[in-house]
Every structure is written in structure tokens, then in C-alpha cells.
Amino acid sequence: MSADLITGPAVVATDTPTREERRLSPPSFVSAAWLIARKDMIVELRTRTALLAALALSLLSIVIFNFAWDPTAVAAIDLAPGLLWVIFTFSGLLGLHRAFGVEQADRAMDALLGAPIPRTAIYAGKAIGNLALVLLVQLVSIPAALVVYNLEIARVIIPLGGIALLAGIGLVAVGTLFGAMTTSTRASELLLPVLALPFFVPVVTAAAQATARLMGGRPVDETIGWLKLLAAYDIIFVVACAFAYTVVADE
Amino acid sequence: MSLTTSTARPTRTIDGLLLAGLFAVAGAVTRAIWFTPVELRQGLAQKIFYVHVPSAFIALYIAFGLLAVSSALYLWLRDPRLDRMAESAAEVGLVYMSVVLLTGPIWGKTVWGTWWTWDARLTLTLFLWFVVLGLLLLRQSIEERSMRARYSAVLGLLAAILVPFIHISVYLFRTLHPRPIVLKPSAPSLPGSMLTTLLISFAAFLLLFVGLMRVRYRYATERDELLAAEGME
């Protein structure tokens, strides 16, 4: 797939032959992944289906949970960390399903698989697109939750962003692969959460525990174990799922 | 257990090994209830031990191990027999895990005073139960055989990678579950007659496992042969 499909006609250049050669040669791993991620993000920003649905679900859940417990009996600081991560997990699932779902129309997936790019680049591109969606949802809903639950913002917001990034990578690494696996099955929307949620357990546990310690003002070394667990999960599952995708996409 | 079953053998309704396994389990349970001393502090509730512990060991180490190994080998060798092995191990393993998850709370309620606790081993078993259930659901929703085998093998292998992560994340919570009392570096701290019953029980449940695996594997082979003969692939 050439860059022209997305960026429009190439600018006229002086050294025509080399440019033409470069245009016809397959893109490198990074540029192929970036092209796919960029295409997905543009499609998502133009249609906004998954983004708005995930955002609405996330914000609605924050509001609903507020009425599901008695704030005079249980302090928000005790419940909020767990709630936030459960909410992100479920709202993330909405987006994960879409990444490969959009390629079903007109058998676009076949063209993508036929492109002269490594399969891992397709996985990386889809994962980057998903990560952007998940982080965008968190970017809106974390401050929203801190505000409506009356939690301290200034001190926690930056480290919380770090936890969100680490957890987001883990969720997306596994979720993107399972999204690819379930789109080609019957009852795919039902199957994705059933497959993905058990794999999200370590991520949600670690992220919620780290968030709770952060909000509770505990010393940093109490959080570091959980952060290490998140980082290890990210590294291992990014590698394992990228390899697994090459097996899954092997037609 | 034989990996290769001949093609033309007619289906037998009763499998000898399976029947032997069933009788062995009945015998082991009889011995556990009537011919083994009652534990001093836990009373009769401790009898669950003879079902719970062998089932847990077989489900988590043997069945899940078989699932993980045959999944990994399938990705390498692409032999349909390995896929059938993974399928059988997942299904029989799910039954054994269900036994563990059902007998555990009954024992826990009488001994610990609580049906359930979020301890490392319980949580790990529960989540493996969910993963294996998901794997069987995934298999069920894919028609094409080679795709089903590949997806299932990928999930089986990822599940094996997931185990240490769940274990670490739940181990950081306090744990109620007893430490191993038989398979530990020092000598088993179980009285002789109880240990004998446990070992007999373990052998009986293992025999039943092998019997079930054999029947389930043979079913998978015959189903695949039938589908191939009907040209449905």
C-alpha cells in the first residue's frame, strides 16, 4: 500500500527516479506500522463511532458507580482506583473489537495481508491505533473521575499517567491479538470479552493497586513492585502477541 | 494411552480403561470414607482432601501441562493429532478443575469458615477455569479445522505464559491456603494410612483421567475422519 492513498499525491520532486523507486519499494517495518495506525486513527476521527461510544460508556460508568455506593459510608478514595480500572477495561473492549472489524468490509483484510509488509507490522499498526484510542479515553475520564469523586488531582495526575500508559500497553497488546482472532469467528462480540478478561486480570490488579497506593499517599517503593509487574507483562505480552499474530494471520 | 487409533475400528460404547478408572475412583472413595482414620481437628470434612487434592494436581499440572505442551508443539509441527490432544486435555481438564472448584468451597466452609477466599491458588485455578472455558468456546465458534487448531494453540500457549503473572499478582495478597504437605522438600507430614489413601486416590483419579482422555481423543479422531470422509472440510 502506498502512502499516496492517505496523504494524497506526492509533491513534485527534483530527483524523480530515486523518488519513484522509493515509492514503489515496500515500506519499512516502522513506516508500514505507522501507515496502518495513521489510517485507523483518521478513520476513527472521521467516524468517531468507537471513540465516542467508549468515552460515553466510561463517563456513564463513573456517574453510575457514584450512585451505586454510599459515599458517606465508603470513602471515594477507597473505591475509585478499582472502579477506574474496571471501567477502562470494559470501555477499552469496545475499541479493541473495532480495529480488525473495520477491515471486514469489502475484504480489506485480504489486501492488508497481501501487502509486501511483515505481519508483525500489521499487528504493531493496529496496536498503536488501539493504544491511541485507549489513552484518549483515559485522558478524558481520569480527570473527570478525579473531579466528580473530589479526589486530589495535582499530586497524582502525572504518575497516574505513567500507570495508565503501562497498563494501556498491556491491555492493548493482548486485546489487539484477541480482536484479530475473534473477528473471524461466529459471535465475535461475545467471545472477545470472554477470552480477554482473564488475561486482563494481572494488568487490572497491578494498575488498581498502584493507583490506590498513589492516591493514598503511600511511599513510592510500595508501588514499585506493581509497576515492575506491569512492565514485565507489557514486554512479554507485546513480544508473545506479535509472534502469535503471525500465526493467526497465516492463511 | 495410544496417540494413533486405527481408522476402521468400530466405535465401542464402553471403554475398558474408562470403566476401570470409574471403579478405581469408587474404590478409593470407599477406602477414604470407611477405612481411613478421621482427622482429629477437621473431622469428616477432611475426607474431601482425597478428592480435592488429586483432582487439583491432575487438573493443574497434568491436564493444563498437556494443553500447554501440545499447543506449543502444534505451532511447531502442525500435526492434527496434537490439536486433538490439546482439545481433549482442555475438556477433561475443565471437568477436573470444576471438581476442584466445587469441592474446595465445601471443605473451606467447614474448615476455614468461609466458602471462598481470594487466595493465590484459588484465584489461579478459577482464572485458568475461565481461560480453558474461553478456549473451548473459541474452538466451538470456528468452523475451519486448521484455523481452529492454530487459534486454539495460540491461546493455549498464551495461557501458559499468563499463569506466572496471575500467580504473582494474586500472591501479593495474603494467602489462607495450606502449603503443600506431601510434595515438599522435607518428608510428607501426613500420617501413613492417610498418605496411602491419598496415593491410592491419586492413582484412581489418574486412571480415570487417562480413560477419559482416551475416549475424548478417540471421539475427536473419529469426528475428524467422518468430516473428512463427508468432504466437509
Sorted by sequence, the CB contacts under 8 Å of residue A137 that are 6+ apart come out as A51, A54, A55, A58, A88, A91, A92, A95
**Dihedral angle sign, alpha carbons of residues B74, B77, B78, B79:** negative
Q: Which residues of B touch A240 (CB under 8 A)?
A: 157-158, 161
Q: Do the domain assignments include residue B94?
A: yes
Cell of B65: 501441562
- Top residue of A174, A247, A250, A251 to mutate, by most chain B CBs within 10 Å, is A247
A240 touches chain B (CB under 8 A): yes
The residue assigned the cell 508483525 is A120
Higher pLDDT, A248 or A19: A248
- The C-alpha atoms of residue A239 and residue A234 are separated, in whole angstroms, by 8
Question: Integer distance in angstroms from the first to the last C-alpha of chain B?
Answer: 27
CB contact under 8 A, A191 and B158: no
Range of the domain at A58: 4-248
**B10, part of any domain:** no
Residues 87-126 of B with CB under 8 A from A: none
Q: Which residue of B has its CA nearest to A199?
A: B162
Number of folded domains that form chain A: 1
| Better pLDDT: A199 or A19 | A199
For residue B185, being part of any structural domain is answered with: no
Note whether residue B198 is domain-resident.
Answer: yes
Tell whether the model's pLDDT for residue B186 goes beyond 80: no
Domain range for B64 is 16-175+192-229
Average of per-residue pLDDT values in chain B:
85
Is B37 within a domain?
yes
Q: Work out the pLDDT band at A189, boundaries 50, 70, 90.
A: confident
Q: Which residues contact B232 (CB under 8 A, 6 or more apart)?
A: none
Q: For B28-126, list the strands marked E by DSSP.
A: none
Contacts for A40 with CB less than 8 Å, ≥ 6 apart: A99, A102, A125, A126, A129
| B39 SS3 class | strand
Rounded average pLDDT over B155-184: 74
Of B138, B154, B161, the CB nearest to A185: B138
Q: Which of A198, A248, A250 sits opposite B134 (nearest CB)?
A: A198
Total tally of structural domains belonging to chain B: 1
Q: With contact defined as beta carbons under 8 Å apart, do A244 and A179 qualify?
A: no
Pick B96 or A65 by higher pLDDT: B96
Question: pTM for the whole thing?
Answer: 0.84
At residue B95 the predicted structure's pLDDT band, cuts being 50, 70 and 90, is very high
pLDDT, tens digit, 9 for 90 and up, residues A69-111: 777 777 777 788 888 888 888 888 887 878 888 888 788 888 8
Q: Count Cβ neighbours within 10 Å for each residue of A145-175 and write b for 16 or more, e otherwise.
A: bbeebeeeeeebeebbeebbebbbbbbbbbb
